[in-house]
Amino acid sequence: MKRTKLIRLTSSLTLLGILSVSTVACSNKSENNTSSKSSTQSSSSTKSKTEKAVNKTKAKVKTSQINISQTKALNIFYKDYNDKKIKDIDLKVENGNYVYEIEGFDSTKEYTMTIDANSGKIINKHSETLDLDEHLKQGLNFDKVISRDEASKLAENHVKNSTSTEWKLEQDNNNAYWEVKVNDGHQKTEVKIDAQNKKIIDTEHDDD
């Protein structure tokens, strides 16, 4: 009788031990899964931040290629097209390099010149007959519009933690506007600014 009780007690203790080991194993597995998931999320977040920082750095490095100021680019344009009114001036990346594309006009023709923003070399230029509606336009008055640097600050304040990468000063219905493209490392955004009263007119995101 005592032997039977002893066997039952031993069996119960053995079963209890197995259940305890199983519970601990499941708990460890759950903790390992949670730890693994947390580690994966942390790694993904770190990778995203790193890529964002790299993209912003690349954007800043590119802008360092701009050695020719807007004023100097306009002077280069005026040497060939003296006394022409300026329709717009675009500072953008073309074939991996920054260039100025300046458009001017007079009473009969429209003139376009592309200038290397690093060397000041004229890449190409041409003229064509002016469209009739262009006769009604006034040229840009650079004394009455904000500078490219000020437009950049406004755009970068509007899109937090961003860097300006391309700029265009143009007019529409005799009103001047800056279109500034910024890069926050995650996406590119174009910010349209009234070049006289500094108001943000529109923003457009590039999801590519």
pLDDT tens digits for range 65-104:
899 999 999 999 999 999 999 999 999 999 999 999 999 9
In sequence order, which residues have a C-beta less than 8 Å from that of residue 187 and are 6 or more positions away? Answer: 205, 206, 207
Does 83 reside within a domain?
A: yes
pLDDT one-digit tens code per residue, 116-173: 999 999 999 999 998 867 666 789 999 999 999 999 999 999 999 999 999 999 998 8
- Go through 4-15 and write b for each residue having 16 or more CB atoms within 10 A of its CB, e for each that does not: eeeeeeeeeeee
Q: Which of 139, 174, 189 is the last residue of a domain?
A: 139
Shared-domain flag, residues 111 and 171? no
Q: Where are the beta strands (DSSP E) in the chain?
A: 85-94, 97-105, 109-116, 122-129, 163-172, 175-183, 188-194, 200-206
User: How much is the pLDDT for 10?
Assistant: 43
Task: Work out how many domains the chain is built from and give that number.
Answer: 2
Same domain, 94 and 147: no
Query: Are 74 and 122 part of one and the same domain?
Result: yes
Return d(Cα 156, Cα 138) in angstroms, integer. Answer: 29
| 176 to 7, 138, 171, 173: CA distances (angstroms) | 97, 10, 4, 8
Q: Residues 120, 181: one domain?
A: no
Which CATH number goes with the domain that contains 207? 3.10.450.40
At position 121, the amino acid (one-letter code) is: K
Containing domain of residue 197, as a range?
142-208
Same structural domain for residues 152 and 128?
no
Distance CA 170, CA 103 (A): 10
- Whether the pLDDT of residue 3 is over 70: the answer is no
pLDDT tens for 20-34 read: 444 544 445 555 555
